[in-house]
Amino acid sequence: MTGSAILISLALVFYSIGVWAERIARYLKPWHVASFWTGLAFDVSGTWAMHKMAEGPFDILAPHTLSGQIALWLMLVHAIWATRVVRSGSEQARVGFHRYSVVVWLIWLIPYLSGMYLGMHGDSDIPPTAVVPSARQVEYQRMEMIGFVHLSVNTFTDREWGYGDESPAVFNPTALDAGQWASVAADAGMGELILTAKHHDGFTLWPSALTEHSVRNSPWREGRGDLVREFVDAVRDQGLEVGLYVSPWDRNRVDYGEPEYLEYYRGELRELLTGYGPIDELWVDGANGGTGWYGGADEERRIDRKSYYDWPRTFALVKSLQPRTLIFSDAGPDIRWIGNESGAAGETNWSTIDVGGIVIGAADTEYLNTGDPRGSRWVVPLCDTSIRPGWFYHASQDSLVKSPQELIDIYYRSVGRNCVLLLNVPPDRRGLLHETDVSVLREFRRILDETFHEDLAAGRPVSGPSHRGRRGAFAPGNLVDGDPDTYWAAKSGEPTASIEIDLGRPTCFDRVLLQEPIRLGQRIAAFSVEARLEGDWTPIARGTTIGYKRLLRVPGVRADRVRISIERSLAQPALSRVGLFEASSGEKAEDGCDSLAGSEGE
């Protein structure tokens, strides 16, 4: 219990003893009055202690301040009144005074208890920004990295985009094991796995009742297989979330481009969303219209991307069947494409955009890459890329798999820039993730774990000239407490603020982590990082947005203090975490801590 809580509690004890002892005696005695004054003294002391603990200006309009003032004035008036009665010598007044004392005490309890609660707990949160994420979107972003599995007839025809004329007979993975995919994904730290249930070729990996172009007519599992079922079961067994990619473009369908096709497409979605349990994410590709087989027409078909799909109706169907499902597309509504397939978000990346003017498949990629601080909707940015040059497996690319260091670089440019990273790892013709890909993912995970296993700032003293609320509610120490739900906040009305972390001794680091409490919105628009080297403050990084997470690769420095300055914020500045790390040697950073002489052991 804090000192202020003890003082406030003693105020209740002494004041109550005086009031109820008087009530029992039915006569006001001098020691009762002394008890009233003692309770008042403790209440004043406790209220003052809470104000000092807040380390902010006295705000008479704050709820806990108003209630506390009312309680204090009631006690003061009562104590003065009781003192005058005792000094007056009137026996009749002293006999009847207990009735007033009890009434005053009961009235006093209301502001006292409410003031004590508000004073000790502070406000539950700072005011959120105008646009905030849903709880599901926050959960999604906290996964940080998810996986993509591209498998279809393309795997066996050596194509990236199937034409739609492929025979189902070509689909025949010889040793398919969805459990291997899920296990590798979980070991790599992915929180979700997405399967291409249907790509542009129109071949469905489940035995759809709506088409003959499916696994039902393939030799795999003798035509009795259901890859979507095997996938969702394996993924859930690993504790991962389930996502399905269902291409709206279908180069196999004879009615593609006609209104009838939309009913077919929605029928596919209905089959998937009603037959396979909870689907956590639905992935809608922007590739729409072009050449294709189209049931034998073998022609080019163009559609009006703005109106053909009637996306509001389709998305409403999805949400009616599974309200928890998050939908990805250029325009969201829940998750957005970052505008490229290299896995790189912009240095500036806002989670908010205006979706009204975005056409799926024809979006402004630069706008998607940076977001919009004035955007009216929160749409989680997603960076997608493949571990190989292609999205589907090609044996010719076995030697072209990205290295662990390339994946690390992508991680910093995606997760480290307020994105979720979607990494594609395609199964080969056996139906297994290739050994090279698996080996790279394991080393990638090992390097990440080695870099981020020890936060050099964790538990260190943090100071800030301004923070809002009670100690422990919005205090600087929340930045290094390891709790993702606590945060530090600057004083209301101040768009700039800074905090300092005392490392205790010269400590080498070359990676900086910053996070905002995004459940309350994204607000920081400019920041800087300084390190104190041998007594002198040296700038080591500057940036714009932070969002869910910002990771900064800085030259290795040996500093005893670090200062984070919020230079511009759209609302009251707030941070949920600051972390300092020394990069793994596996990152092969030329200017990291390893480059500093004598850094070993720091």
In DSSP notation, 325-382 reads -EEEETT-SSEEE-S-SSS---SS--SEE--TTPPTTS--HHHHHH--TT-SEE-EEE
State residue 329's pLDDT score. 97
This prediction has a pTM of 0.83
pLDDT in tens, 192-242: 999 999 999 999 999 999 999 999 999 999 999 999 999 999 999 999 999
Mean pLDDT of 258-262: 97
- State yes or no: pLDDT of 297 exceeds 90: yes
**pLDDT interval class at 4 (50, 70, 90):** low
- Region 562-585: what's the mean pLDDT? 97
**DSSP per residue, 119-163:** HHH--SSPPPPSS---HHHHHHHHH-EEEEE--STHHHHT-SS--
Q: State the CB neighbour count (10 A cutoff) for residue 39.
A: 26
Cα gap 444→415, rounded to integer Å: 14
How do residues 40-75 score in pLDDT, each as one tens digit? 888 788 777 665 544 444 444 455 556 667 777 888
CATH number for the segment(s) 135-452 = 3.20.20.80
pLDDT at 57: 47
Q: In this predicted structure, what is the pLDDT of residue 11?
A: 78
Mean pLDDT of the chain: 91
Which class for 178: exposed (0-12), middle (13-18), buried (19 or more C-beta within 10 A)? buried
Report yes or no: 589 and 583 within 8 Å, Cβ to Cβ: yes
Domain ranges of the chain: 3-121, 135-452, 462-595
Checking if the pLDDT of 191 tops 60, the result is yes
- How far is the CA of 491 from the CAs of 57, 242, 462, 487, 574, in angstroms? 9, 42, 16, 13, 10
**Average pLDDT of span 159-166:** 97
Amino acid (one-letter) located at 42: F
* Predicted confidence (pLDDT) at residue 3 exceeds the cutoff of 90: no
> In angstroms, rounded to a whole number, what is the distance separating the alpha carbons of residues 487 and 502?
18
For domain 462-595, which architecture applies?
A: Sandwich (2.60)
Instruction: List strand residue ranges (DSSP E) for 434-518, in order.
Output: 462-463, 488-489, 497-515
Angle, helices 91-121/3-25, rounded to nearest 10 degrees: 160
Lowest-pLDDT choice from 110-124, 237-251, 542-556:
110-124
Please check whether residue 360 is in contact with residue 399, taking contact to mean a CB–CB distance below 8 angstroms: no
Question: Does position 472 have pLDDT exceeding 70, yes or no?
Answer: no
- Residue 373 and residue 243: Cα distance in Å, rounded? 29
Taking only the tens place, the pLDDT of each residue in 309-335 is 999 999 999 999 999 999 999 999 999
Question: What is the per-residue pLDDT for 105?
Answer: 78
The pLDDT value given to residue 116: 60
The pLDDT, as a whole number, for residue 118 is 57
Per DSSP, the chain holds a count of helices (H) and strands (E) of 13, 20
For 320, phi then psi, to 5°, come to -70, -35
pLDDT for 55 equals 43
Structure tokens at 361: 């498949």
Query: What SS3 state is found at 237?
Result: helix
N-term to C-term CA, the chain: 37
**Among 3-7, 123-127, 590-594, 595-599, whose mean pLDDT is lowest?**
595-599
Contact between 501 and 460 under an 8 Å Cβ cutoff? The reply is yes
The mean pLDDT of 177-192, rounded to a whole number, is: 98
Q: In this structure, what are the phi and psi dihedrals at residue 565, rounded to the nearest 5 degrees?
A: -115, 125
Residues in a beta bridge with 475:
none
Give the pLDDT score at 327.
Answer: 98
> Given a cut of 70, is residue 115 above it in pLDDT?
no
Maximum Cα interatomic distance, the chain, rounded to a whole number of Å: 112
List 463's β-bridge partners, or say none.
500
Reply yes or no on whether the pLDDT at 148 is more than 80: yes
Q: Do domains 135-452 and 462-595 have the same CATH topology?
A: no
Give tens-digit pLDDT for 488-527. 999 877 889 999 999 999 999 999 999 999 999 999 999 9
pLDDT at 88: 83
Interatomic CA distance for residues 545 and 442, integer angstroms:
31
- Indicate whether 265 pLDDT > 90: yes
